[in-house]
Chain A
């Protein structure tokens, strides 16, 4: 007699081996259900201890309080997916086992990828990338046509959307950009003051902070923050509209996506971006000014007096015009990925990630381009 293995409740699936006239038999007891297998160890121990299926061994399922499809699957697999010769069971149990026997199948594995498949996958990626470029150029072209429409009938343009985006993208971003800008200013001032003090060139901290923040760091920081904050929001908004068929509804009404969705966002960002960039620069300069006062003893009054001389006007113009380009770029990239979302949630997530990564990369790329093209201006 192999006794019960697990001392648990009546419901615990277990078995006992009983001698029978025709040979040994395994009698199942308890509930052979998925809910019972949820307890740790129960399943593993059962599978270990269940005696192997051999020719003479009989199986008696009639005393099992319950048998569900998972329990039946366990037995069927244990029997090597064949009916044992001696099997006692109730009609409902037979029905379940017959269904399991009929339908047991292994799902097909996805085929392994050989070099040929990799080659084609690379090609598909390349074509997809070209598709993105093409789609982006189309978007710019469509936007240009829509601008013509705007000039022809300015009173019909979506101005309410425009002002809403201006507020959401611009005004609500002011606290975070000020905080980040101010902290970067402090860090920059502290680090450079160490070096400048060695050369006795303390006063040049105004030049360094001024040029760096106005020309590079202010616009860049603002653009990266806005790309993360608003670029992702734009993609998600438009992407959800795709998932819920709102984009198709809009097209059915004869309203252009670019005119109603892309244009107001691009316009709002092209105006909000230079303003936020200026705001971030000012916050950075204030942070730097305080840090310079503390570490080098350069008074704020001197700092403010020396600043206009250190930073010539072209630097400011360059910084601001860069920001306009960044703003339009972030809006267009956000809209581009939003419009390409396919109607499922996974695609929405992928699109949002791709949008933010692409926007930040493009911002840095364009910034480098500006640095090369205008290297002789202002410095």
Chain B
């Protein structure tokens, strides 16, 4: 084999670096520009939350980082490399993605779902793959007895946990979350936030998440980026972001809903 597998040790630079990104879609009515000269940098160990109104291009931004969309111009780099130029092999050892509805393969059991990226390498013995999957399964708080269940038999919180185990099976340094707590009841939501916090700490993860839930936002984020007007209008510590003067920021953080969640600020001083 001549193509040596790229080292997954992240170099010292930023984990994600987006410069002058343009995202555009061709529609029957003409070109729709979602991002215009968007800049964003994510350092190692951060938990960056992306917020923005609906249609502001949060999910498109995640898809750009994942390489599921192509930039119209500009560049997206992960650990110093252009996303478009990366090989498909070993993709799950670079980025883990937790989709909003889990995206578990419904024809596979939980264990098979979690083991899937490892099994697809075709080089590891079945026993090791299953054991590794069982370790991840229990790390995200599922019980060994859940391994043989099918996704249709799981509750919403368990689906998210199983999907998280699958995203983390190859220990990627970067984890992307799309609405991690959407559709969960408050209890499961709190449990999931605690799980994410401890995994972030234990596995030294860099996390980028899109969320609308202010509680999740305040409890997890070390930094918040606000998407509006087709770019990142402000990115920084939660306090700095809240102080930023922009109609969306004022409405989102300082509305009645925001005031209630702000109470949490006093209890959780961003101690991650």
Complex contacts, A68 vs chain B, CB 8 Å: 170-171
Given contacts A33-B8, A92-B204, A95-B202, is CB(A38)–CB(B123) below 8 Å?
Answer: yes
Are A342 and B123 neighbours in the complex by a CB distance under 8 Å? no
Kindly state the separation between the CA atoms of A41 and B136 in the bound complex, as whole angstroms. 25
User: For the complex, is A34 an interface residue (Cβ under 8 Å from B)?
Assistant: yes
Among A102-124, those with CB < 8 Å from B are: 102-108, 110
Are A31 and B121 neighbours in the complex by a CB distance under 8 Å? no
Complex contacts, A105 vs chain B, CB 8 Å: 131, 134, 138, 144
Cross-chain contact of B7 among A11, A44, A345 (Cβ < 8 A):
A11
In the assembled complex, how far is the CB of residue B201 from the closest CB belonging to chain A, in whole angstroms? Answer: 10
Complex contacts, B151 vs chain A, CB 8 Å: 344
Among A1-45, those with CB < 8 Å from B are: 8-12, 31, 33-44
Are B4 and A37 neighbours in the complex by a CB distance under 8 Å? no
Among B98-132, those with CB < 8 Å from A are: 106-107, 111, 118, 121, 123-124, 127-128, 130-132
Complex contacts, B139 vs chain A, CB 8 Å: 99, 103
Are B89 and A38 neighbours in the complex by a CB distance under 8 Å? yes
Complex contacts, B121 vs chain A, CB 8 Å: 34, 37-38
User: For the complex, is A321 an interface residue (Cβ under 8 Å from B)?
Assistant: no
Cross-chain contact of A106 among B89, B131, B169 (Cβ < 8 A):
B131
User: For the complex, is B156 an interface residue (Cβ under 8 Å from A)?
Assistant: no
User: For the complex, is A53 an interface residue (Cβ under 8 Å from B)?
Assistant: no
In the assembled complex, how far is the CB of residue B93 from the closest CB belonging to chain A, in whole angstroms? Answer: 4
Interface size range on A against B? 35 or more
User: For the complex, is A69 an interface residue (Cβ under 8 Å from B)?
Assistant: yes
Complex contacts, A107 vs chain B, CB 8 Å: 111, 130, 133-134, 144, 147-148
In the assembled complex, how far is the CB of residue A240 from the closest CB belonging to chain B, in whole angstroms? Answer: 13
Kindly state the separation between the CA atoms of A89 and B7 in the bound complex, as whole angstroms. 21
Cross-chain contact of A70 among B107, B124, B137, B144 (Cβ < 8 A):
B124
Are A73 and B132 neighbours in the complex by a CB distance under 8 Å? yes
In the assembled complex, how far is the CB of residue B120 from the closest CB belonging to chain A, in whole angstroms? Answer: 9
Are B131 and A344 neighbours in the complex by a CB distance under 8 Å? no
The digit string for A67-85, where 1 denotes a CB below 8 A from any CB of B, is 0111001100100000000
In the assembled complex, how far is the CB of residue A152 from the closest CB belonging to chain B, in whole angstroms? Answer: 40
**Closest chain B residue, CB of each to CB of A67:** B171
Kindly state the separation between the CA atoms of A12 and B5 in the bound complex, as whole angstroms. 8
Among A314-365, those with CB < 8 Å from B are: 342-346
Given contacts A107-B148, A342-B152, A345-B107, is CB(A33)–CB(B93) below 8 Å?
Answer: yes
Kindly state the separation between the CA atoms of A37 and B152 in the bound complex, as whole angstroms. 32
- 8 tightest A-B contacts by CB? A35-B93, A68-B171, A103-B138, A103-B135, A11-B7, A344-B152, A344-B106, A38-B121
Extra inter-chain contacts (10) besides given A103-B139, A107-B130, CB under 8 Å: A11-B4, A31-B8, A34-B124, A38-B5, A69-B136, A70-B170, A99-B139, A105-B144, A107-B147, A108-B147
- Which residues of B are interface residues toward A (Cβ below 8 A)? 1, 4-9, 89-90, 93, 106-107, 111, 118, 121, 123-124, 127-128, 130-139, 144-145, 147-148, 150-152, 169-171, 202, 204
The 19 sampled A-B contact pairs (Cβ below 8 Å) are A11-B6, A11-B9, A31-B7, A35-B5, A35-B6, A37-B124, A38-B5, A38-B123, A39-B1, A39-B123, A40-B1, A43-B123, A69-B132, A70-B118, A73-B132, A92-B204, A102-B138, A106-B131, A343-B152
